[in-house]
Amino acid sequence: MDTIIQQLLNAAQLGAVYALIALGYSMVYGIIRLINFAHGDIFMLGGFIGLIIVTHFGGLPFCLVMILAMLLTALVGVTIERVAYRKLRNAQRMSVVITALGVGIFLENLVRLLIGPETRQIPARLPTGSVVWLQQHLGVFVTWDKVLIILISLALMAVLWIIVNKTLVGTAMRAVADNASVVPLMGVNLNLIISVTFAIGSALAAAGGIFYGQAYSLDPYMGIDLGWKAFIAAVIGGIGSIEGAVIGAFLLAGVEVITVAYLSSNLKNGIAFGLLIILLLIWPSGIMGKPLLKKV
C-alpha cells in the first residue's frame, strides 16, 4: 500500500506539470483553433527565466520568483502571438504550423546560446523536509516540495477556472471560442482577448517549468518531449476543454508512472502514444471534447 501511495503522489506531481502545459494548448486551440507547437518551448523558457531570477536574486521568496517568471513568460507569449501568429490568423493552417515550429526552434537555440546546453536544476526554494504525518501513519516518505507543487498547481487551475467561468474576460473568451466572427460586432476587442489567452497560457506553462526545474531538471530541449506529452494530454481530454486538459494530464502521468514503476522506463513513451490512439478510437473528440458541427 505504501508503494502505491508513493506512486500516486509521483503521478500527481508529474500530472500537475503536464496539466499546466496542456491548459495552454487547450485554451489557444479553443479560442482560435491554433495548435501552438511552440508552447512546449515556452514552458522550457519559463523554467529558465525562473532559474535566472533565483540565481541573480537569491533572496527573493519563492512566490515572488514564480510571479515574476510567470509575468515575463506571459509577455513573451503575447509577443509571439503579436509578431508570429496574428498576421497568419486567416492564412492556410500549414503556414501557421510551420511558423509555430520555427518559433519553438528559435526559442530552443536562443536559450542554448545564452545559457548553454548543460542540464541544470533550480535550487530548492520550497521546503524539502518530509511530511511527518504521512511517514508515521502510512510509511510513505513524501517531501513537502512535492505536496506544495501539487497544491499550488491545483490552486492555479482553480483560478483559471474562475477566470474563464466567472469573469467578464472569461465570458469574452468563451464567446470568441463559440463564434469569433460575431464577437467584434458586439464591441469585444478580439485581439485583446486572444492576447490575454496567450498570456494566461504562457504564465501557467512558466509555473510548470519552475516546478519541473526544481523537482527534476532543465535543459534547452526539454520542451520538445514534455510539450508533446502535454499536447497528448490535451487531445486525450478533448482539446479546447479546460477540464479535459486536466483529466488527460493526470491520466497520462498515471500511466507513465505505473509503466516506469512496474514495467520499464523504455516503454513509457510507446504506451503514452498507444493510450492516445486507443482513447481516440473510443472518443474521437476526447474524453470531454465536443464534435465540431457545421451548418450545411
276 located within any domain: no
269 located within any domain: no
114 located within any domain: yes
Domain with 75, as residue range(s), is 2-229
Which pTM was predicted? Answer: 0.92
144 located within any domain: yes
Question: 102-128 burial, b for 16+ CB within 10 Å, e for fewer?
Answer: ebbeebbeebeeeeeeeebebeebbee
d(CA 198, CA 78): 6
Asked whether the predicted pLDDT for residue 295 surpasses 60, the reply is no
* Residue 16 near residue 150 (C-beta atoms within 8 A): yes
pLDDT single digits (tens) 168-221: 999 999 999 888 888 888 888 999 999 999 999 999 999 999 999 998 999 999
pLDDT single digits (tens) 227-268: 999 999 999 998 888 999 999 999 999 999 988 888 888 888
270 located within any domain: no
Rg value, the chain, Cα: 19
**Number of domains within the chain:** 1
238 located within any domain: no
42 located within any domain: yes
295 located within any domain: no
The conformation of residue 145, written as its DSSP 8-state character, comes to H
pLDDT single digits (tens) 12-67: 999 999 999 999 999 999 888 888 999 999 999 999 999 999 988 877 888 999 99
